[in-house]
């Protein structure tokens, strides 16, 4: 049985827009990289599409994929209907998150 998005968020503590530390665990042919979320000792598997590995205008080719075991930062995008966690590792997204975190809370 596949857990729904809310159940996975509650079980893992991960949510959309959350920054995480990951370790590269595999290459999924030309499609992207498999990683393990290592933040907080979670050890949850995830996937980063080749288009979301770097800020280049073209997809990162499999020859340019990060090496196995490399640690990197990523942002949670979503849990897919099959339960797979999708992440974004583009430096522009990491920077946007960091800038957002440094803003003072709005007064409403």
Residue of 42 and 104 predicted with greater confidence: 42
Question: The pTM is what?
Answer: 0.83
Query: 87 pLDDT exceeds 60?
Result: yes
Per-residue pLDDT, 107 = 45
Q: What is the pLDDT of residues 12-60, one digit of tens each?
A: 888 888 999 999 999 999 999 999 999 988 889 999 999 999 987 777 8
Q: Which residues of 16-32 are buried (b: 16+ CB within 10 A; e: fewer)?
A: eebebebebeebeeeeb
Q: Which domains does the chain have, with CATH numbers?
A: 5-101 (2.40.50.140)
Residue of 97 and 23 predicted with greater confidence: 23
């Amino acid at each position: 049985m596949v857990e729904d998005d809310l159940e996975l968020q509650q079980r893992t503590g991960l949510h959309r827009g959350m920054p995480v530390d990951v370790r590269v665990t595999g290459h999924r042919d030309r499609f992207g990289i498999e990683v393990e979320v290592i933040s907080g000792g979670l050890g949850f598997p995830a996937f980063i599409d080749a288009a979301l590995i770097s800020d280049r205008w073209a997809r990162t080719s499999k020859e340019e994929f990060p090496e196995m075991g490399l640690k990197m930062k990523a942002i949670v995008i979503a849990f897919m209907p099959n339960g797979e966690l999708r992440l974004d590792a583009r430096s522009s997204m990491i920077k946007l998150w960091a800038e957002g975190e440094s803003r003072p809370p709005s007064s409403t």
